[in-house]
Amino acid sequence: MMVQSSSEQEVAQLIVQTLKLKVDPASIQPDAPLFGEGLGLDSIDALELSLAISQTYGYQLKSSDPEIKAIFSSLWALAKAIEKNRTK
């Protein structure tokens, strides 16, 4: 079991609050998939999450980005992308 870094904890909290998930943010494994068999998120969740990330961190996630699937692949990947691209 991987331990969440502080940025992963912050992003996990944002995911749970934004999507009103009934899950403990600390229980989200950094390397587990966010979509499908992982947290079970869908494309609407991705849109809501993108908006929350933009408002919170100033990082604009675009569906046209060739890396978008990789960015949303796991909590670890998403937190890493936010750290690298945040403006707030």
Q: Where are the domains of the chain?
A: 6-22+34-85
Residue (of 1, 23, 21, 10) closest to 82 by Cα position? 10
Q: What's the CATH code, domain 6-22+34-85? A: 1.10.1200
For 59-76, give one letter per residue: b (16+ CB within 10 A) or e: bebeeeeeeeeebbbbbb
Residue 22 pLDDT more than 90?
yes
Please report, rounded to a whole number, the percentage of residues in the chain having pLDDT higher than 90: 91
Residue 45 has pLDDT above 90, yes or no: yes
**Taking residues 32-54, what's their average pLDDT?**
94
For the record, the structure tokens of 17 come out as: 């609050």
The pLDDT of residue 1 is above 80: no
